[in-house]
Structure 1
Amino acid sequence: MQVLLDGRQVALPESATLGDLLPDHDWGYVVAVIRPATREAARTEHIRVLTTAGEVVVEITPLYSEYFGDGTALREAGPRSLRWSDRYAAAFGPFVSGVNPDRTSHRYARGDVVLGCAGYDPAKSLILFCRADHRADFGAGADGGVIGQVVSGRGVIDHWTQGDEITGVERVISWADRTTSFVTIDPATPLEDGAEVVTRVEIDAEGFADGRSDTTTARSVEHLLLSLEEGSFVVGRAASTHIRDETMAPMDVPMDRKKPRHEGAVTVRTAGGSRGAVYMYREEIPSHPAHTLVGQVVHGIELVKLAGKGQRFAVAVDPPRFDLVGLSLADAMAVAEERGIAVTLDGEGDDLVVVGQSPGTTLEALAAGAVTLSVMPAEAVVSLTLDDIAAPMTCDIFRRATGLKTHAVGSMPVLFTFEDVVLFNPTIKKKVNIIPENTPQDIVPAGLLAMTNESRRGAGMVGVRASDNSEFGPTSEPFGGTNLIGRVLDMEKLAAFREGEKVYIKEVRK
């Protein structure tokens, strides 16, 4: 039997299961299964245009149905080659249509899909995808010939070149299709001939297309790349219009681009308790002053529509995040060379580690084609572990205050040292409540890292002791005012630091 796997036809034995199709899949991630009858049952206002360079989802207008009915006529015409392209549009054809050209120019917007013809001949009809706002005479009818608007895959239309072609046209599944389409983590799920399996969601970042970066959205897109850097989208909320990943919430994100939220749009909330959460949209809704557009789903909209609360699926964003902080200099240089980024060093020595990068966002680094890296000897970077199981809230506060939430290396200033205690004073935002959590009971072993909680005046202070103590915690507070959050692995390195100096720290994941 034939199964469509992420847009690619795969031949399988008739008794095959999902496990046979996906032998290397991580079954902690759901996959979408669309049964063969689903496409015919769905009658949405969206079509998927399959091309050799990727898929494009188009919201069709009534004019589309006038010319193509349910889409069968357009689908059965077979592959259609790219006839020509320029900075304004890309044209596929030719084929025969009922267009009646009016021989005048019309105004078109980026993303418009137009039915026109070459030489005003309906027998040489073309489907045109507009890449930019402009005015043109495409041999369209008096109505302008706009048969749809691209809502997903705008990056794809920018990448088409000679040799590309349209290989298929089909309806997009609707929300009602949950009865015949589903997500699963069961590798024993049987497959049917003609079924479609979708294993991942792919996103084009807003402001990045055809290898070029628009830095207007650099900061908000960086938050998207950080949130999804592990390749996982965790559905914290599932509504009729959207799904939401709350992994990095709350976190302040700037409003860079306010636009309508089309099906497949990806936004980040910029205000409120959920600020920093990433949203993917199942259907089109108006723009919102607290949502900034950061990307567009170009593959896997079915997963977006079908995934439920508590489930997670694989996700990838183009471009991948470019963050060299925390890498050894050798590894950082290798990554920079692979991405085509020139490097200038700020610092010297042997066995160096990257502790800073400028510019710090991916889109800015790609646009500049160069970064400056701050480096220092690895022996000066202090390693530590954090105990998220025993003190999840305080560990999160610590990561945010030191920069470990966004980079592999953070820092905090030494407040002062005395006897066997070193105290640090990271900057913690006002109104952050450090409630008592994982307070010690009998004795605090040497090397444990702690933060003073709200029960003491010095709330937010971080400390570590070089010796065991059965009376006071690492910040010299009573046990009740001490939240134990982890362990310093390089205690011997702290002896070299003095008051006012910045200590760079690197978290070692267990």
Structure 2
Amino acid sequence: MFGTSSKIKVEINGNEIELPEGSVLEDAIRLSNAPYRKGTAIGIFIERAGEEVADVSRYTVRTSKGEFRIELQDTPSPSRKIWMSHYAEYSNMPVRWISRDAVAFGSFASEIVPVRGNADHKRFELMFAGGLDPANTHLILVKDKHSAEYGAPEEGTFAKVISGKHVLPDLTKNDRILDIEPVTESAEAGEHICTTDLSTRLENGSRIFTYLEIEIDAEAPEGAEHLFAVTRDGTFHIDAVSSSYISDNRFQGELVTYENFESRSAGSVFVRTVGYGAGKLFIATDDRTSTIMHSVVGHVVRGLELAKMAQEGQKIMVESVPHPIMLLGMSYEEAEKEMELVGVEVVREGYMGDDGFIVTQDPATTIGILKEARVTLKGVDPEHLVRVKLYNDLVPKTLEFFRHATGMQYKPVGALAVLMTYDNTYIFKAVEKEADKYKEILPENTPGVKVAAGEIGVTNQAAKRAGMVGVKLEDNDLFGPTGEKFASTNIIGRVIETEKLRNFKDDDIMYIIESSTEDL
């Protein structure tokens, strides 16, 4: 119990709360019910005297449907100058018209010089347009890629929406801009710490950051899935820190599709797509220029201060908007309930029973599913889904190969094709990719005196058939599950439901799902 009635005020994730003097970090989290994941680092900033400095390149636009943030183009232009001089005058401005491709606010007089003719417009661009009358200028937000004549000036667009993009489709003729403010950054002197110690004592005025919220960019559906896979455990690992970014390197070596070329302003989340370091996931903590090697997949919309405080070796909690849609491993019944909540129609394919386990979804990406508001799911008889226990601590490198080969690196359900069966032995080959061509399989956790029934073996590089996967239904003290000598066999885990293997014959597909427990 606290021995005083004195109170302190702290801010946690932007929300101010009052605590008894002497409170610690755990008290603030519990009282505020703030998002927190055990073991993650939390940022604390203790303010001192100072000032706020406006960043004249980014602005927050608050509308009656929510707020979004824009970033001005680096290139000077008349439109950019007009915005910087008059942005405050666009407060309380209504939607004038709206279409499938754009929304216009206005009207107002400006000094733009309209140009005749159609022009190509990209998603989330911002421009002034007055038809042929500058006295009737509108502020136009592009919702979708299209070509049209708006009477925009020669320079065209002057800014781009960088976060809050989900607000644009929700705008109607009854909405309006409420106000516009330049983004400000604290320049005050002060002390900041990033800690996992929940007993850290808090001072009056402390600002606490427990997590990052990342808004996914609709232009990067494949990159978003990479982000979801890297942060599947709800955390971003700080494997490297520089003056302008932090990076999570757990998926280094993965090949990711390049999709979205845009400036990597502070808060941008991007992935390297080529060269050494491909697959690394980055969060920009300071402005960086665009490159053709890094594809932007999202933007931090809450908690960027935590990313700036984080230290190498720590991990921080992350949440994404939208949440990832991964239905593999669920039953039809479970998936349909979940999709009903987000207004997505489900189409069944394959095994049709309510208990069918889902092994594929089409579209495969979250962005694709939400865009179409429809997903086709393929289910299989539960007897064709096999649960396995993987030895993560014993064979990390071999499991890296195995997860690539089965597709489990990105999905909870993997697939193996039955190559042959003989004498209670089952030999499988990869369905997703021939990962042995670019993933090493060095000897790791090779058997001692025998291999137990149900253990999963992978042939290592000591033998010609490296990459083969096998399981035996009986103990064996001579050969591994793939028929190789013990020295050529890496034991990576075991099948929990060995009786299900008898359901498979040559050329069948066996679907597997990892279990953290053996008592199923």
TM-score normalised by the shorter chain: which range applies? Answer: 0.7 to 0.9
Is it true that 1:33 corresponds to 2:44 in the alignment? yes
Q: Per-residue deviation at 1:13?
A: 3.0
Q: Per-residue deviation at 1:221?
A: 2.1
Q: Per-residue deviation at 1:102?
A: 5.9
Superposed CA deviations along residues 112-171 of structure 1, whole A, max 9, x for unmatched, are: 699xxxxx99xxxxx989567999999xxxx99x8x976554555776784884598772
Is it true that 1:172 corresponds to 2:185 in the alignment? yes
Q: Which residue of 2 aligns with 1:248?
A: 251
Equivalent of 2:387 in 378, 383, 389: 383
Q: Per-residue deviation at 1:263?
A: 1.4
What's the secondary structure of 2:51's corresponding residue? Answer: helix
Answer with 223-232 or 491-500: which moved more: 223-232
Is it true that 1:344 corresponds to 2:347 in the alignment? yes
Give the whole-Å Cα distance in 1 for the aligned partners of 2:318 and 2:97: 31
Q: Per-residue deviation at 1:10?
A: 2.1
Q: Per-residue deviation at 1:385?
A: 1.1
Structure 1 pair 85–269 and aligned structure 2 pair: CA distance change class (3 A): farther
Is it true that 1:438 corresponds to 2:451 in the alignment? no
Give the whole-Å Cα distance in 2 for the aligned partners of 1:168 and 1:259: 23
Is it true that 1:428 corresponds to 2:441 in the alignment? no
Alignment of 1:128-143 (within 5 A): none
Equivalent of 2:314 in 305, 311, 316: 311
Structure 1 pair 460–33 and aligned structure 2 pair: CA distance change class (3 A): same
Structure 1 pair 44–15 and aligned structure 2 pair: CA distance change class (3 A): farther
Q: Per-residue deviation at 1:58?
A: 5.9
Give the whole-Å Cα distance in 1 for the aligned partners of 2:140 and 2:243: 30
Please say if residues 384 and 508 of structure 1, whose CA atoms lie closer than 8 Å, have aligned partners that are also in contact: yes
Structure 1 pair 155–113 and aligned structure 2 pair: CA distance change class (3 A): farther
Q: Per-residue deviation at 1:250?
A: 2.1
Alignment-mate amino acid for residue 24 of structure 2? T
What's the secondary structure of 2:220's corresponding residue? Answer: helix
Q: Which residue of 2 aligns with 1:2?
A: 9
Answer with 494-503 or 342-351: which moved more: 342-351
Q: Which residue of 2 aligns with 1:335?
A: 338
What's the secondary structure of 2:358's corresponding residue? Answer: strand
Is it true that 1:476 corresponds to 2:483 in the alignment? yes
Structure 1: give runs of 5+ residues left out of the alignment: 69-73, 95-100, 115-119, 122-126, 208-215
Structure 1 pair 136–422 and aligned structure 2 pair: CA distance change class (3 A): closer
Alignment of 1:222-237 (within 5 A): 222-237=225-240
Please say if residues 33 and 183 of structure 1, whose CA atoms lie closer than 8 Å, have aligned partners that are also in contact: yes
Equivalent of 2:217 in 182, 206, 212: 206
Give the whole-Å Cα distance in 2 for the aligned partners of 1:361 and 1:301: 26
What's the secondary structure of 2:247's corresponding residue? Answer: strand
What's the secondary structure of 2:463's corresponding residue? Answer: coil
Percent of aligned pairs with the same amino acid: 28
Structure 1 pair 288–65 and aligned structure 2 pair: CA distance change class (3 A): closer
Structure 2: give runs of 5+ residues left out of the alignment: 1-7, 116-120, 129-133
Please say if residues 414 and 425 of structure 1, whose CA atoms lie closer than 8 Å, have aligned partners that are also in contact: yes
Is it true that 1:291 corresponds to 2:290 in the alignment? no
Structure 1 pair 278–39 and aligned structure 2 pair: CA distance change class (3 A): farther
Please say if residues 59 and 69 of structure 2, whose CA atoms lie closer than 8 Å, have aligned partners that are also in contact: yes
Structure 1 pair 254–170 and aligned structure 2 pair: CA distance change class (3 A): closer
Give the whole-Å Cα distance in 2 for the aligned partners of 1:442 and 1:478: 11
Alignment-mate amino acid for residue 418 of structure 1? Y
Answer with 356-365 or 435-444: which moved more: 356-365
Please say if residues 47 and 190 of structure 2, whose CA atoms lie closer than 8 Å, have aligned partners that are also in contact: no
What's the secondary structure of 1:226's corresponding residue? Answer: helix
Structure 1 pair 452–281 and aligned structure 2 pair: CA distance change class (3 A): same
Give the whole-Å Cα distance in 2 for the aligned partners of 1:383 and 1:359: 25
Is it true that 1:181 corresponds to 2:177 in the alignment? no
Q: Which residue of 1 aligns with 2:220?
A: 217
What's the secondary structure of 2:194's corresponding residue? Answer: strand
Structure 1 pair 371–151 and aligned structure 2 pair: CA distance change class (3 A): closer
Structure 1 pair 468–370 and aligned structure 2 pair: CA distance change class (3 A): same
Is it true that 1:320 corresponds to 2:323 in the alignment? yes
Structure 1 pair 348–44 and aligned structure 2 pair: CA distance change class (3 A): closer
Please say if residues 48 and 190 of structure 2, whose CA atoms lie closer than 8 Å, have aligned partners that are also in contact: no
Alignment-mate amino acid for residue 239 of structure 1? S
Q: Which residue of 1 aligns with 2:118?
A: none
Give the whole-Å Cα distance in 2 for the aligned partners of 1:128 and 1:33: 39
Alignment-mate amino acid for residue 457 of structure 2? A
Q: Per-residue deviation at 1:28?
A: 1.2
Please say if residues 152 and 265 of structure 1, whose CA atoms lie closer than 8 Å, have aligned partners that are also in contact: no
Q: Which residue of 2 aligns with 1:464?
A: 471
Structure 1 pair 66–505 and aligned structure 2 pair: CA distance change class (3 A): closer
Please say if residues 52 and 185 of structure 2, whose CA atoms lie closer than 8 Å, have aligned partners that are also in contact: no
Please say if residues 398 and 444 of structure 2, whose CA atoms lie closer than 8 Å, have aligned partners that are also in contact: yes
Equivalent of 1:260 in 260, 263, 277: 263
Indicate the RMSD between aligned Cα atoms, in angstroms.
4.0
Structure 1 pair 227–305 and aligned structure 2 pair: CA distance change class (3 A): same
